[in-house]
Amino acid sequence: MPASPPLTFPRGFVWGVATAATQIEGAARRDGKGPSIWDTFAGRPGCVRHGETPEPACDHYRRFRSDFALMQRLGIRHYRLSVAWPRLFPEGRGRPNQKGIDFYCRLLDAMTAHGITPWVTMFHWDLPEALEAEGGWRVRATTDAFGAYADTLVRAFSPWVRHWITLNEIVCFTRYGHGGGDKAPGTRETEQVINQTYHHALLCHGHGVRAVREHGRRGARVGLADNPVVPIPFTETAEDIAAARAAFVAENIRVLDPIFRGRYAPAYLRAAGRDRPLVARGDLAQIALPTDFLGLNLYTGYFVRAGRKGKPERLPLPPGFPRADSPWLHLMPQALHWGPRHAHETYGATSLYVTENGAGYDEPDTCTEALPDLHRREYVRQCLAELHRAIAVGAPVRGYFLWSFMDNYEWQDGYGRRFGIVHVNFKTQRRTPKLSAAWYRAVMQSNRVV
């Protein structure tokens, strides 16, 4: 029997890894950094597993040079990272902390020296606690503070950075943070307040785009990293695909409609009623400033079929459906096919990047050799096969960033759940590449699924 043809990706396809500042840097109070809402949230009893905080994390603040040397050895050439807002502005606004700026200049310089291209996220959930005390995402003043922050970091880091991401996963720090969920700041607000936090986050996205256009280097590119809910058609028939497409719009209308269409959809406004956000003149034009790409954080989804009169019918998952150790992460590689297709075919997105994808497992705290994480390798391999299939039918996916480079502080799960392709012993800070790291290196080098 002849071998199957290799799943080769387009020439120039970007392969990388991703992390976030709060999850890896540590040094939570060093060199003038102020506390973030995650420092506060983690210190509140019962909010984070075993009361673990972001203070040690991966000690990347001191170890970034050796971490970049390891990336280089593993063949990593693109790295998505985030800047910590409270490291640059301990109070959220006012005079910037020069020591914080200097740290990221050293970090970006070292990254460049190791042949690694930075993709910088402006905001990955670490709102300065000082701004939270003033109302945080609930109040419009936070958008002004973000605008000044975005201007500062783009001016400071443009010599190194051409690829910018404004915000990461708006739903997580708005609805999950303010709707009684398990994300900081962990409050329970009214539906109107939650809708207003969304609106303020979208305004900050617009500020980030504006800052790149005004202060970025020639050829600078900017986009958002969204984590859309991905409905997967139960069968690939016209009826089920149409039902999944309708469900995608209904699920993601809150973020993608204003960004791509410059409006809040009538269906959303009708459903929100008196709880709709307050919108000032010019807000929607700022939110819809043209971007260069859309980032998709794709982990899971749900199955849909056409029900009565073609309406989407969500299928419940039976007990025992495959999932990672992260309880929310049901393993549905098809999300890597349908997420990009829905975004392209529904909103006309012409340049897409998978800005996160991976799996979290409960793995040993210590290891002395490559951990045989075949479960992670198999899941990611299936995801890449589905992504390749999406590209083959016209989805304009230009790159893929694996989450995560190394085990890190996994938010409310503390240090117990691991997503990395590099194992971290959090007591000794020893890094040990897992089996998946060697496999991913071969994928990046060959530009195909191996």
Residue of 52, 132, 169, 386 marked catalytic: 169
Residue 191 appears among annotated catalytic residues:
no
| Per-residue pLDDT at 2 exceeds 80 | no
- Angle between helix 191-215 and 238-261 (nearest 10): 70
Residue 421 banded pLDDT, cuts 50, 70, 90: very high
State pTM to two decimals. Answer: 0.97
Mean pLDDT along residues 382-391: 98
| Per-residue pLDDT at 1 exceeds 70 | no
Q: What percent of the chain has pLDDT above 90?
A: 98
Domain coordinates in residue numbering, the chain: 8-357+387-415
Mean pLDDT of the chain: 97
Q: Which CATH class is domain 8-357+387-415?
A: alpha beta
Q: What is the pLDDT of residue 303?
A: 98
Q: What percent of the chain has pLDDT above 70?
A: 99
**Residue with tokens 């992260």, as numbered in its chain:** 326
| Per-residue pLDDT at 304 exceeds 80 | yes
Residue 3 banded pLDDT, cuts 50, 70, 90: low
Burial of 395 (0-12, 13-18, 19+ CB in 10 A): buried
Residue 356 appears among annotated catalytic residues:
yes
pLDDT tens digits for range 221-252: 999 999 999 999 999 999 999 999 999 999 99
pLDDT tens digits for range 93-120: 999 999 999 999 999 999 999 999 999 9
Mean pLDDT along residues 285-299: 98
